Amino acid sequence: MTTTHPDFQAEEQRLVYTKSYMQQILQESQRDLQSAQENIRHSMADLDYLDSSLSYLNILANARFFEMARNQKEGLEAVQKKPYFARIDFQKTGEAKELLYIGKTSLFHRETHEPIIVDWRSPVANVYYDGRLGDMEYDVRGEIHQGHLFAKRQYKIEDGQLLAIRDIDLTTNDELLQEALAGKADVRLTEIVSTIQQEQNEIIRAHLRQPIIVQGAAGSGKTTIALHRISYFLYTMGEHFNPEQLMILAPNKLFIDYIGDVLPELGVDKICQTTFADYVLAATKLKIKLQSPSDQLEDFMTGKSTWIAEMKGSLDYRDIIERYIQKIEHNIAAQFEDVYIEKYCIMRASHLKKLFLHEFSYMPIEKRLAHIKKVLASHVRQKKQAILNKLHQKYDDALGKALNGIRDDVNRRRLVTKVIDERDERIPAIDKEAKATVTTYMRRFTKHNIKTLYRSFLTNPDLLAEFAPDWHYIEQQQFIQAHVKEQWTLEDLAALYYLQARLKGIDDAWKMRVVFIDEVQDYSLFQLAALKAGLETDMFTMVGDLAQGIHSYRSLTAWEPVQQLFPRASFRTLQKSYRTTIEIMEVANQILMRMDETLPLVEPVVRHGPTPTFVKTPSLHAQQMQDIVQAIRANGHQSIAVICKTNADAMTLYQTLQNNDVACQLLTEQESINQAMLLIVPSHLAKGLEFDAVIVAAFDTPYFDTKIDRKLLYVALTRAMHELYLIGPSIEAFLLANATVPIQLSELN
Ligand SMILES: Nc1ncnc2c1ncn2[C@@H]1O[C@H](COP(=O)(O)OP(=O)(O)OP(=O)(O)O)[C@@H](O)[C@H]1O
């Protein structure tokens, strides 16, 4: 970046012009806001005595206007200090050359319609991220446009002042990125609009109505990209989708807090950010207490059998539950009988059954019954009328015959009275019966309680034998035994949600149309299949890393099955890490090489830092920790985390430090991160987060050469941006005895 660029002055003037125009628009927006507010107030006052529909329309129009003016104002206010970050000199084929300044919002000149700032999400801005200099093509909603890119220029603007500019081509492209990566000192995730890389841009802008699966290395920007894709999605498809219909599923609440700043920075609000467990509990309205996933993980780390958890995450289990549902469906179908009012058949059982099993089969089971109830009610209404008409006719005829055909007075009177009595008794009785027919008929179908239904499945040997016939007797017994005590785990949620979806359906409020899943490697296939079935959409963006699949005993170990589940999905990979220095990534790659999955080594973006240090010490001394922390702080780094393997290790370490007056924070799922504190984090909870410096501690429990431990260790190592320390009694505790990359040794007694 330079200030000696020949265009520097001209660019300064352009910035001044942009800022002053923004100021003008802001003032106008302020006036627009006030006048809309004023108009609304007047229309409200007029509501009582004027033509209220006109006033109502006025209110609506002004409310819309108010909303637009407010959005415009907020958008501009947010970027006042940095209106744009780049420029392209671009000529669309057949049009004049344009200089387009790219920023986080768009601004057009109100009279000339000249674009003053172009939104980074607009189609033409794609040229900046995607286009090499020269002739090029870009996509506008599926239509390919051609043009010529003459130049790309980047700006460093801080507090509204232009500090430097730089023209970029292929060779210099990385400088801004380097600066962004080296300078990052935030403990929460941030937006990266000015440095989005081409491979990332392709994912952000990939077909929005199609699912996408991304296998991305640790630190490759998966989370960041998913969030930018949401912003791009709402910018591009906002007319068709409300933000409320978008959901991002994060691994835990801590993570939601960690990403909490990015979406507002990207102009997105109101989207649903939750965890799978919270979402399922809200959508099913079930009140159950789940075993903590970290306790569960620790059980498995200490050798508890994983087959039940594994089974419950599989599509085989989905099929077992599906067979159970089909049985319920057939039991219901068997209960249909012909519907009568008195002796008149209103509807045949066979027809009702056909509606239930075929015509309405696309609906959840209880919804089908609700529809059948409506069909029946309307049929009863029509048929009742026809029956009553017929009967009235019949009695009128009978009366006519009696009155005209019987000469004998006494007989005639007797017959007429009989006919009238019968009519007066029968017709109201039919009327009354008709009113109750539907309710009485539908009473046979009792509503299901999802929890009870599933509980009985978990503990009933006959049901298990019927629906899981392949299981051995021992497996069946173990399964029942495991569920004697009512205890719920995360794996049960897929089944409960699936049952809810198939039997009752998901309420509109929870029926998200677009889903973004981060850390998807920790999902089971059944979880994904259940969500897809319940939401009746496949518009999923799924990002994850199999190398970080610490729950792989019950979740994904390969992408192919996910691709089969989402056949329309495109699949992308990201191999570069933007987080970690070369030196740290080389150490983490040593662990990656030991994994069962054949995953390519991660390529760090060229950025060097200190060699990772192994501090050899038999036990934890608070002073040592203080010294390391001070050394890190002296290098200008802020966020520092000590990552321990288990919750228990983290707790012990936290207590030792506390007892020695070392200020620190033990992170739990419920906590939000305090940037200034030394953070103590169990490894499974560190997933997705990042810190300037990481100290991986292994005092009480070493990392063993097992599937789970390798992944936990890999997660821990890849959380570091700039500095990495390993502290413990031996290098073996970090599975690095045979490491072929530099690790500095610092021996303490
Ligand atoms: N193009 C980019 N420009 C600047 N910073 C970037 C870019 N891409 C990623 N980063 C930074 O790299 C870091 C890692 O990003 P992120 O947390 O999104 O990666 P991830 O793939 O989700 O990581 P993990 O799987 O390890 O949790 C973040 O600090 C992010 O801001």
User: Is the pLDDT at 392 greater than 60, yes or no?
Assistant: yes
H or E element: which one contains 711? helix 707-717
Please tell me the distance between residue 3's alpha carbon and the centre of ligand 1 in angstroms.
29
Q: Does the Cβ of 549 fall within 6 Å of ligand 1?
A: no
CA angle 35, 268, 691 (to 5 degrees): 135
Among 224, 227, 683, say which to mutate for ligand 1: greatest number of ligand atoms within 8 Å of CB. 224
Distance in angstroms (rounded) separating the CA atoms of residues 42 and 197: 51
Helix (H) or strand (E) holding 389: helix 365-405
Instruction: Determine the average pLDDT of the residues in 489-505.
Output: 96
> Does the C-beta of 168 come closer than 6 Å to ligand 1?
no
Ligand-binding annotation for 220, yes or no, is yes
User: Which ligand 1 atom lies nearest to the CA of residue 574?
Assistant: 21
Closest ligand 1 atom to residue 715 Cα is: 26
Among protein residues, the one with the nearest Cα to ligand 1's atom 15 is 221
**Predicted confidence band of residue 5 (pLDDT cuts 50, 70, 90):** confident
Pairing mode of beta strands 344-347, 339-341: antiparallel
Q: Does 222 carry a binding-site annotation?
A: yes
Cα(189) to centroid(ligand 1), Å: 8
Q: Whose CA is nearest to atom 30 of ligand 1?
A: 221
- The stretch 81-100 carries a mean pLDDT of 93
Is 62 touching ligand 1 by the criterion CB < 6 Å? no
CA atoms within 13 A on the CB side of 488: 17
CA distance 688 to 716: 10
Distance CA(694)–CA(697), nearest Å, equals 9
Complete DSSP assignment for 236-260 = HHTTT--GGGEEEEES-HHHHHHHT
- Cα–chain-centroid distance for residue 442? 38
Query: Which of 85, 578, 602, 722 best tests ligand 1's pocket when mutated (most atoms within 8 Å of CB)?
Result: 578
pLDDT at 4 over 90: no
Can you tell me the ipTM of this complex?
A: 0.99
Q: Percentage of residues in the chain with pLDDT exceeding 90?
A: 68
Query: Is the per-residue pLDDT at 8 higher than 80?
Result: yes
The verdict on the CB of residue 718 being under 6 Å from ligand 1 is yes
At 306 the pLDDT is: 79
Residue 222 CA, ligand 1 centroid: distance in Å: 6
Model confidence at 144, pLDDT cuts 50, 70, 90, reads confident
Q: Are 515 and 535 in contact (CB under 8 A)?
A: yes
CB of 519 shorter than 6 A to ligand 1: no
pLDDT at 1: 57
Helices (H) and strands (E) in the chain, counts: 26, 24
What pLDDT score does 145 carry?
87
Q: How far apart are CA 718 and CA 219, in angstroms?
A: 7
Nearest-5° Cα angle at 345, 339 to 347: 55
DSSP string across 33-92: HHHHHHHHHHHHHHTTTS-HHHHHHHHHHHHHHHHHHHHHHHHHHHHTT-S-SEEEEEEE
Comparing CA positions, the residue from 392, 418, 394, 501 lying closest to residue 454 is 501
Residue 219, annotated ligand binder? Answer: yes
d(CA 535, CA 515): 9
Q: Does ligand 1 come within 6 angstroms of the Cβ of 126?
A: no
Say if ligand 1 is within 6 A of residue 219 CB: yes
The reply, when asked if residue 223 is annotated as ligand binding, is yes
- Report residue 52's pLDDT band, with 50, 70 and 90 as the boundaries: low
- Consult the annotation and say whether 217 binds a ligand: yes
Q: For 601-615, write each residue's pLDDT tens digit.
A: 999 888 899 999 999
Q: Rounded to whole angstroms, what are the CA distances from 170 to 81, 129, 175, 392?
A: 28, 12, 11, 91
- Give the C-alpha separation, 720 to 219, whole Å: 9
Q: Which of 44-53, 67-76, 340-349, 589-598 has the lowest mean pLDDT?
A: 44-53
More confident residue, 53 or 674: 674
